[in-house]
Each structure stands twice: as C-alpha cells, then as structure tokens.
Structure 1
Amino acid sequence: MTTTLAHAVVTGLKEAILRGDLPPGAKLPSEPQLVEQYGVSRTVVREAVTRLRSEGLVETFHGRGSFVLALPEPSPFAAESTRIRTHDDVLAMLDFRIGVESEAAALAAHHRTPTDERAIRAATEDFGRQGHEGAVSADFDFHRAVAAATGNRFYLELVESLGPMMIMLPRTQLGEPYSMTDATHVERVQREHDAIADAVLAGDADTARAAMRVHLGSSRRRVGSTSSPSAG
C-alpha cells in the first residue's frame, strides 16, 4: 500500500514539474504540506521524494529541503537490444552486462530500501511460479529490481533500455536444454537468482557481486561454446 501511495505522490509532483508549476530551482512543498495535500503519511512522502531524487528530478540538501533540477537533455547514447543482431553482439552484450550488473548487485546490497527488498523478493518468487511463457518477463523483472535497488538511476535506465530482450537474445543462440521449457535449466536460473537475492538482502556486497558474475558468466560460457551462422 505504501508503494502505491508513494507512486501517486510521485506522479503528482512529476506532473507539476513537467507543467512548469515547479520550475528548475523551485523548492518542493515541505513534508507537512505534502502530507496534507496528498493525505498520506510522512513515510510515504519521504519514499516519493527518494524516488524523484533517484530519477534525477530533485536534489535534497540537509536542513534546506528538496529542489527541482532542470530536466535532462535527451542523451544520444542508447544500449538498445535492437542493435544486437549477431552471435558476437550477444557475447559482447553479456560481457557488458557482467561488468555493469555485477557492480549493480554490490551497490544494491549497500543501498537497498525496504521497498527494494520487497521488489526483489517478489521477483524471485514470481520467477519460480511462472510457466515458460512468462519466464523471460519474470527473469527481466528480477534484474530490473536489482538495478533499481542501487539507488542510481543510470543503472535502472540502462537495464530498462535493453528490456526483456536482454534475457531473450542469448537464449536464441542456445539449444533446447537451455530454454525456459527445460525444467533443469529453470531450476538452475532460480538457484542463481536466489543466491544473488540472498546476498543483496543480507547486505553482503562482495557475495552479491560474485553471485551476479557467476549467473551471467554461466550464460556467457554457454553462448560462447555454441557456433552460429551469424557469428563474425
């Protein structure tokens, strides 16, 4: 419920920022004002402001409050899955993800919030419940939850820019034993996710980093051992 209420506050403040009602440099209403305006608790308001801060929309100064930042200019950089076309591209993407997501897991262990912890637990549980049709989406939701737990919007934006195809593309290079219709493979991925989640939730950054590296490294080794007509 807290998460849903915080989302309503975030949405309302975002709309005010985009309309120009809260221009760059403007101070957000105080906590008591937001509590009264939205009819929520201080905890909900604080979570909403934390989300706005993680998205780069506001900056908070101790003792002074939170201030609206200028909206960022569109970036020309994009790590889009549509640009990944060959076997070599898939390998390069996995190498990239190993570096980025291993560090994201370590940061998540340091910076996770109770909301992040709930999202990570829900994603691991959802993956275990899904049939093969929904497994790719559930797998992506887990990686997205870890990225969000870093508290660093750039990790989250990167994972979201790749989308569920970052999970699907490596599997197009593999045979049936590594598909989501294979129970043994699903169980293996579930164990790997559980190891990452356990370390993140325990606040063990080194183990979280290593567990993510093992998880993505396993995919990298499997894809690297195959041959593809599209490989360069």
Structure 2
Amino acid sequence: MAKTGLVDQLVGDLVDDIVRGVFPPGSVLPSETVLAERAEVSRLTVREAITVLRTKRVLEVKHGRGTFVNSISHWSPFDPTLLVARSGDAVGAGALPKKLIEARRLVEVGVAELAAARRSEGDLEAITEALERMKQSGDDIDAIAESDIDFHQAIMAAAGNAFIAALFDPIRQLVWAARRQTKGYPQIRARAIEAHTRILRTIRDRDPESARWAMHDHLTQTEEDLDSLFTEDSEDGWANPLREA
C-alpha cells in the first residue's frame, strides 16, 4: 500500500493540474508510468490517487480507452478538497474566503433568527461556553478558531434543523482555516468577540429580529476584515489548508 501522504499530495497535484488546464475536462490522463515518473512516485501511488479521484467523480475509467477527466460540474459537490478547485483559480487573491462568507451570510443570518426563537437552556449554555473559551484562549490561534467554530455550530444546533448543519459540515475545515488566519490579528479578534457577545445576547433574550441583524453585522465585519488583510498583504494570499497537512 502506498503512503497516505504521497497519495493525498498527488491527488491535490492532479486536481490543481486539471483546474489549470494541464489535463482539461474531457482529456485522457497519461499512463500510470508517465504520471509516476512525472511526480517521482511509484505506480502504486498513482493507482491509489486515481482510485481516490474516481470516488470523488473527478476521473472516469473507460475500459479499453483510458482514464478521462470529468467536467467540474460532475465532481462530488461537497468534498472539501474539491470545493477549493470549484471556487476557481483566484484563491490567492482572496476569492475563496469571500465566497465562504457569501455562503455563510445566506445561511447563518437565518440560522441566528431560528436559534433565538427555538433555543433551549442547554443550547444557550453551549453557545455561552464556546464564547467563554474564545475569550480565555489568549494568543492560542488554534484554540480561538476552534471555539469560534463551536460557537457558530452551537447556534446551528439551537436552530433545530439538522439539514443546515449537514450542509455546512463538509466545509468546516475551510471555514476553520479562514478563521484561524483572521484571528491572528488582535484587533480583528477583539471585534469578533464583541460581535459574538451581541449575538449571544440576542439569542439569550429570544429576539429573532435582533439576532438576524447581529449575525449579519458580524459577517459583514468579517468580510471587511478579510478585504483589509488581502489589501495589506495581498502577496501572501490565502493558503489552501487542505494542502498544508
């Protein structure tokens, strides 16, 4: 069996090549031998990477004809690795984080409203506990990002709709990476804690309309913070978290 790290790396490299047009949709991949030499890995690693990409519906093997690249529209829609590629090739310019904010705004504003109307005392305790952990995390960026995600997921749980959480679970790692990046800045972290406190207050007070606006304002501020980050440090862009492990 090939090493998992090598397989994952090759999977990512092949997806990147497909997005960049090296192997465009509809084309036939080179042979296992050629791919192995190109990537300096074994044929077994290539074979396992192709199997992974077939499972994700990126590739299709047509017996007697070769391994074909599928159109991006056929790829598994909720696979975190592929969501980066499906978002286009402008990730370095901040496109992916902004698209994540767009998706979150469409859903989480309504989720906050539902949570304020439906939350239980247990839900309120979970939301409060996540915020307290965020406040106590100091400069531990990973702990801050994790407690931030827990805060929002506790609100999703309080909304009482399992479909919402199921839709967002596949992008948890991408959202975590975006939050980890912004929470490294003290002023952004302070604004986030203040916004989370307002959201908690509206949910505690069972005020759905105020909860909607508190979440809307929080996500708008997050988007503005991202814009400022990429303006000040645009050459760094946003690293793909799924390729850094």
Q: Distance in 1 between matches of 2:204 and 2:192?
A: 18
Equivalent position of 1:7 in the other structure: none
Q: CA deviation at 1:169?
A: 2.1
* 1:128–1:79 Cα change, 3 Å: farther
The correspondence for 2:174, drawn from 155, 159, 165, is: 165
Corresponding residue of 1:8:
none
* Structure 1 runs not aligned, ≥5 long: 1-75, 173-177
Task: Tell me, yes or no, if the aligned pair for 2:114 and 2:208 is still in contact at 8 Å.
Answer: yes
Quote how far apart the aligned CAs of 1:130 are. Answer: 1.1
How far apart in 2 are the matches of 1:195 and 1:183? 19
Q: Does 1:224 align with 2:213?
A: no
Say which one has the larger Rg.
Answer: 2
- How far is 1:82 from its partner? 5.6
Are the structure 2 counterparts of residues 135 and 83 from structure 1 closer, same or farther at C-alpha, using a change threshold of 3 Å? same
Give the equivalent residue in structure 2 for 1:147. 156
Superimposed CA distance per residue, residues 67-116 of structure 1 (whole angstroms, 9 cap, x where no aligned partner): xxxxxxxxx64273762361212211111111110110000001111211
User: Structure 2 stretches of 5 or more lacking a match?
Assistant: 1-75, 86-90, 239-245
> TM-score when scaled to structure 1?
0.58
Give the match's secondary structure for 2:160: coil
Question: What CA distance in whole angstroms lies between the structure 2 residues aligned with 1:214 and 1:92?
Answer: 17
Aligned residue pairs total 150
Q: How does 1:1-232 map to 2 (within 5 A)?
A: 77-78=77-78, 80=80, 83-84=83-84, 86=91, 87-131=94-138, 132=140, 133-169=142-178, 172=181, 178-180=182-184, 182-225=185-228, 226-227=230-231, 228=234
Q: TM-score, normalised by structure 2?
A: 0.55
Aligned letter for 2:119?
R
Q: Could you tell me which residue of structure 1 aligns to residue 64 of structure 2?
A: none
- Shift of residue 156 of structure 1? 1.6
Q: For 1:29-53, what per-residue CA distance to the aligned partner results, in whole angstroms no more than 9, with x for missing partners?
A: xxxxxxxxxxxxxxxxxxxxxxxxx
Amino acid paired to 1:162: I
SS at match of 1:84: helix
Asked if the contact 2:117–2:208 (Cα under 8 Å) also holds between the matched residues in 1, the reply is yes
Query: Residues of 2 paired with 1:189 and 1:124: CA distance?
Result: 10
Deviation, 1:164, is: 4.5
State the AA in 1 paired with 2:218.
H
